[in-house]
Structure 1
């Protein structure tokens, strides 16, 4: 019973500190109250207070500095992302008036995985291009996306990847089409280690996984993508 009570108490302290940060009472680079101050304020032992501080540290709100205490991190402001059939990252960010960029982490050509083949309606022996794209807002990584295209829709794609900065601009310029979103499925999850590393977040920070299908203007499936988006930097507006 005591363990249960301590668990609840440390969550209450963590929520108290997070609310102070969100309300602006504690600002970026401020030092949060010390363990001793929190022990006195909440009339709790040091073990419970340390659990609370460890929690907000693991969630990315503060950074502990040996011998000095914990300091509040820069908390990114969530970016509104408009989701529609014509959604394009660059245009969304330009409309929001924020600095943005995209970087191609890697690419490969080969046989599709089962979910890729099913969603793109391909035969087993048809090949695909698979791109891994990291996107930034104000120089902070916000999402990493795996985009898959049938090779027949984007032949010789590798010839156009040097100097990559915008996927849909490349498609319009070299292949004269722009994919149209037909559906997206959202799911909250924890990031894989490799995604947490490129997104520069702890593994304990939830992400939003967005699985999407894009069609060619002719109606045929042309792109299957899985985006992993930082939940602390993203709010989605769905337009009907």
Structure 2
């Protein structure tokens, strides 16, 4: 276990490096100071510096290159994610001039869980579609969403999955309505291993988990979803 003094020093060095990356002192693809330079600057041994660099790398700020040092990763500017009763991901990104796309990773028709059945007010025997949707901004994975929809409300939905790019475009164009947000619950949490791989993110960077229920304009529930959004790439605006 690292002594308390060394622990404090390695955190100080890590914060120094991250702070300089945030402010652009160390630019994208630029090499950060070497172990030797940091040892001299902070008057510490190599073990402390290596711990600091390992921390910065584990948080996704730099990538070590054997024999060459560490280079600053491309750090995306956080996008604003607006949440209101009628917001859509596509409209959110379009309004900010951000390139985006959606990808349907997988889907299945199955029996709902108890939570899904209760939220969607389903009768026994009814089935649901479960979709896994990955969304990108500027060619980088931003969020993955598990979306559950009642089969009875969306007959032939899989027929429209070819060249998928937006679920709500399908609902608007083929089912002629736009879901309305009934409620959303926010929770900051660490990502599951599968989401770490899909979102290509460090496992110790939090995600914002948003559990939402959407209703038909007629008042009945039609969509239950759980989104996991990279916390380092998003800031949420909730409208009342």
Q: What's the TM-score bracket when you normalise by the shorter of the two chains?
A: over 0.9
Q: Deviations over 1:97-126 (max 9, x none)?
A: 111110100100010012211211223421
- Does the CA-based 8 Å contact 1:120-1:221 persist in structure 2? yes
Unaligned runs of 5+ in 2: none
TM-score scaled by structure 2?
A: 0.97
Q: Which moved more, 1:55-64 or 1:186-195?
A: 186-195
- Output the CA distance in 2 between the equivalents of 1:9 and 1:183: 44
How many residues end up aligned between the 2 structures? 240
- Output the CA distance in 1 between the equivalents of 2:146 and 2:205: 20
Q: What are the residue-to-residue correspondences of 1:1-240 with 2, within 5 Å?
A: 3-240=3-240
Unaligned runs of 5+ in 1: none
Moved over 2 A (4+): none
- Output the CA distance in 1 between the equivalents of 2:74 and 2:188: 23
Secondary structure in 2 aligned to 1:212? strand
Secondary structure in 1 aligned to 2:5? helix
Residues 2, 160 of structure 1: alpha-carbon distance in 2 compared, 3 angstrom cutoff: closer
Q: Deviations over 1:112-155 (max 9, x none)?
A: 01221121122342100111101111111111101101111111
What is the CA distance between 1:179 and its match in structure 2?
A: 0.6
Q: Deviations over 1:46-86 (max 9, x none)?
A: 11111110001000000000011100000001011111000
- Output the CA distance in 2 between the equivalents of 1:171 and 1:147: 13
- Output the CA distance in 1 between the equivalents of 2:101 and 2:65: 32
- Output the CA distance in 2 between the equivalents of 1:223 and 1:6: 51
- Output the CA distance in 2 between the equivalents of 1:20 and 1:90: 33
Q: Deviations over 1:27-51 (max 9, x none)?
A: 0011111111111111111111111
- Output the CA distance in 1 between the equivalents of 2:79 and 2:42: 35
Q: Which moved more, 1:181-190 or 1:66-75?
A: 181-190
- Output the CA distance in 1 between the equivalents of 2:106 and 2:124: 23
- Output the CA distance in 2 between the equivalents of 1:24 and 1:227: 31
- Output the CA distance in 2 between the equivalents of 1:214 and 1:10: 46
What is the CA distance between 1:2 and its match in structure 2?
A: 6.8
